[in-house]
A = this chain, B = another copy of it.
Amino acid sequence: MSIREDAIRGTVTPLFENCAANENVTVQALMQGVAAGTICIPKNKNHQFDRIMAVGKGLSTKVNANIGSSKDYPEVSQELQKLCVCLKAGADTVMDLSMGGELDAIRQEILKSCPIPLGTVPIYQSIAEVVEKQKKKIGEVTVAQMFKGIEQQAKDGVDFMTIHSGITRSTMDRVRNHKRLMGVVSRGGSFTIEWMSFNNKENPMYEHFDELLALLKEHEVTLSLGDGIRPGCLADATDRGQIQELIHLGELTQRAWEAGVQVMVEGPGHMPLNQIQANILLQKQLCHGAPFYVLGPLVTDIAPGYDHITGAIGGAIAGAAGADFLCYVTPAEHLKLPSAEDVHEGVMASRIAAHAADIAKGLPGAIEKDIAMAKCRNNLDWKGQIDLSIDPEKARRFREEGSSYKGDACSMCGSYCAIKVYKQATAPDRLQK
């Protein structure tokens, strides 16, 4: 029985009990969500970790952080260091997007050290191995190699996989007949399209979707339906190619559910902020309420070096509108592979967006954190403020950098603290008329 099948049959398992406790919902509510498909629990049967989490309706907005080697940085040690940064910063999941070095070994090492769900984009490895080791072209990877790669990763314990099954000939017709400014900016999407073009064949992840589902179900891998046609710039947002793929993703979502496989759906991308709400509504409608996993959205194209901020703006709006899962964006986006510091800043920016969204959605327990902070502020309780901060280390460091931080003052207002002045003005000894 898969997690989804257990939920549908109403079979209460320790996994559901563990997850419900962590998510602060009842076991019944969690299982109903999984059965309806509005919640997924990314948890491969071969990946052991204690704190089971879930993504979807009625739960806190989750944050994913990407790590991964490249040809220039093929060492697993660097990726394990970034994994630690992600965990410390509070990421809910991690994706290993490695394309350089010994990919099986890197993934297996990361999985061993990863106490949260791990995701991958399996096509990356298939392509990297064919290109780097066999010195062949992207189009020369075989369908068997693609499936073998997915199977290996599933056996290793990958909890969720991005697979670009929504890119079909029909999708590509629409991308081509409506000229985009930036074509396709998804790496997995571009690999898929190159394979289709080179071989003049349908996307094997679409054509052999049932086999894919059987494989994912066997190992209990959650399917994350990739948005290969996501807009790479504001001008391309919400165009016919993107929406055509989304229609396919909705159809594939239903097929996956029927096969007992858990699903989430990936989304844009670059998008003017006034289009975000409509895009969330569209995804929720076309994909029957499946959890929505957004990359950003980035609300402007002109801020390289600050895309953790453009992504936090879009992510907060998306989350408030119903997106369930935010893929972080780091300050290095569009410019370089992120450093450990970039990873930290990216996770923090996304966590802020997720929390702001949770408050807006009225999630129980969300604004309570802000109320606790406000009480500490009003009491000039600096220890409490730092402890309640989303990043206590940074808050402490900043406060200590202010010269007059001793006692209950900060260097911002010094002795002219509004809170103190207001308390004096409204103290009981003042005669109020």
A contact residues vs B (CB 8 Å cutoff)? 70-73, 99-100, 124, 127-128, 138, 169, 176, 181-187, 189-191, 193-194, 196-198, 200, 232-236, 272-274, 299-306, 308-310, 312-313, 316-317, 320, 331-337, 339, 348-349, 352-353, 355-357, 359-361, 367, 369-371, 373-375, 377-378, 385-386, 388-391, 394-395, 397-399, 401-405, 410-416, 418-419, 421-426, 430-433
Residue ID in chain B nearest A100 by CB atoms? B414
The one of B185, B348, B402, B416 in contact with A187, judged by C-beta atoms closer than 8 angstroms, is B416
**Judging by beta carbons under 8 Å apart, are A183 and B426 in contact?**
yes
Determine the chain B residues whose CB is within 8 A of the CB of A403 once the complex forms.
72-73
Residue ID in chain B nearest A337 by CB atoms? B411
User: Could you jot down 21 A-B contacts, CB within 8 Å?
Assistant: A73-B403, A181-B371, A182-B419, A187-B416, A191-B416, A194-B424, A232-B378, A233-B370, A234-B371, A272-B356, A273-B320, A300-B370, A302-B390, A306-B391, A310-B352, A312-B312, A313-B316, A334-B377, A335-B410, A335-B412, A339-B401
Measured CB to CB, the closest approach of chain B to A112, in angstroms, equals 26
Residue ID in chain B nearest A139 by CB atoms? B425
Determine the chain B residues whose CB is within 8 A of the CB of A422 once the complex forms.
183-185, 189-190, 193-194
Known contacts A272-B360, A374-B234: A337-B138 contact under CB 8 Å: no
Known contacts A306-B390, A352-B313, A373-B301: A367-B335 contact under CB 8 Å: no
Known contacts A182-B419, A359-B299: A233-B335 contact under CB 8 Å: no
Known contacts A401-B336, A426-B176: A388-B187 contact under CB 8 Å: no
Secondary structure at the A interface, as helix, strand, loop or mixed, is helix
Determine the chain B residues whose CB is within 8 A of the CB of A432 once the complex forms.
176, 197
Residue ID in chain B nearest A275 by CB atoms? B360
**Judging by beta carbons under 8 Å apart, are A234 and B370 in contact?**
yes
Minimum-distance CB pairs A-B, first 4: A336-B402, A233-B374, A305-B394, A190-B421
Determine the chain B residues whose CB is within 8 A of the CB of A430 once the complex forms.
197-198
- Contacts A233-B373, A335-B412 aside, 4 further interface pairs with beta carbons under 8 A come to A299-B359, A300-B359, A302-B388, A313-B316
The one of B272, B301, B356, B385 in contact with A377, judged by C-beta atoms closer than 8 angstroms, is B301
**Judging by beta carbons under 8 Å apart, are B390 and A234 in contact?**
no
Measured CB to CB, the closest approach of chain B to A335, in angstroms, equals 4
Determine the chain B residues whose CB is within 8 A of the CB of A236 once the complex forms.
374
In whole angstroms, what is the CA distance A128 to B176 when docked?
66
Determine the chain B residues whose CB is within 8 A of the CB of A402 once the complex forms.
332, 335-337
Known contacts A235-B374, A335-B398, A337-B402: A359-B309 contact under CB 8 Å: no
**Judging by beta carbons under 8 Å apart, are B302 and A370 in contact?**
yes
**Judging by beta carbons under 8 Å apart, are B332 and A193 in contact?**
no
The one of B197, B355, B412 in contact with A334, judged by C-beta atoms closer than 8 angstroms, is B412
